[in-house]
Amino acid sequence: MKAVRTLLFVLLSVGVAAPVAASPAVPASAWPGVSDVLLNVAGPAPEAAWPGVPAAAWPGLKHSHFVGMGTPLKTAAWGCTDFNLQRLVAEWREFDGTEVSTSLGVPGISLYTKTVTVPDGCDTLYVTFDATGDEEVGTWFSCNVDGNFCNGGPTFGTRQTPGWISLQHIPLAGDIPQVDNNIHYTWCTPITGGQDHVVEIRMAAEQDGTGSFIEGEHFFIDASYTGGGCVQAAPAELP
């Protein structure tokens, strides 16, 4: 009996000293409530890049929302698809105590020059300026696009010089010069969209050698689709 007890003790000692067999791995999905987040602890491979969604797939989202993000959008990308007015330029000048002057008759001086990209589909361009002006006799202006008059016809006051318009004039010779009066005018002209165009406003003294002055200018250039461009209106109905 003593020999049997000794044998059992030896076997028991061997069993305790032997390493415990590794238990089989259990997948994380088998553990209820255990999140996949635990699987990321060991630093798995990077996730696949998100494919992204093009802006066109978001209803109501306009391209203009992305101005300033990455490459700026070009004006021509807007397009003229209806009768809306698109402002291409809004600038001011001579709000610093200075003024522009000339004593030259036609063709005078270049008052303002700007290159604009007209959107696709536009057929009409509008050139507007506002300012304060003085003159000893009178001041004339012309609008040109790509070297051609916006309107090459004569007006009553400039009938000997087509393409020009008189915007200020002293009524009677010898009167006190006109000082600090408002000048405002807009030209419209047919245009081809999707292209760059050079816009110029010229200023001249009505009589060569007399003074014309301008200050506090604002310049605006707009474009639209009108279904035919800028055309001549019907004659005025006279009584």
Structure tokens of 73? 């959008």
What's the distance, CA 162 to chain centroid? 34
118 has a pLDDT exceeding 60: yes
pLDDT of 56-82, one tens digit each?
Answer: 444 444 443 333 444 433 434 467 877
- Cβ contacts of 116 within 8 Å, gap of 6 or more: 75, 88, 89, 196, 197, 199, 221
Helix (H) or strand (E) holding 176: none
* Coil vs helix vs strand at 228: coil
Break the chain into its structural domains and give their ranges.
75-224
Q: Report the percentage of the chain scoring pLDDT > 70.
A: 64
Average the pLDDT over 129-143 and give the result.
94
* pLDDT for residue 162: 96
Give the closest residue to 196 by CA, choosing from 148, 145, 149, 124.
Answer: 145
Higher pLDDT among residues 47 and 94, named by residue: 94
pLDDT digits (tens, 9 = 90+) for 19-49: 444 445 555 455 455 445 444 445 444 444 4
Look at residue 33 in the predicted model and tell me its pLDDT: 53
- According to the model, what pLDDT value does residue 81 have? 78
Angle at 41 between CA 35 and CA 47, to 5 degrees: 85
Give the class (CATH, top level) of 75-224. Answer: mainly beta
pTM, whole model, 2 decimals? 0.66
Q: 165-169 and 148-149: which strand pairing?
A: unpaired
- Higher pLDDT among residues 187 and 178, named by residue: 187
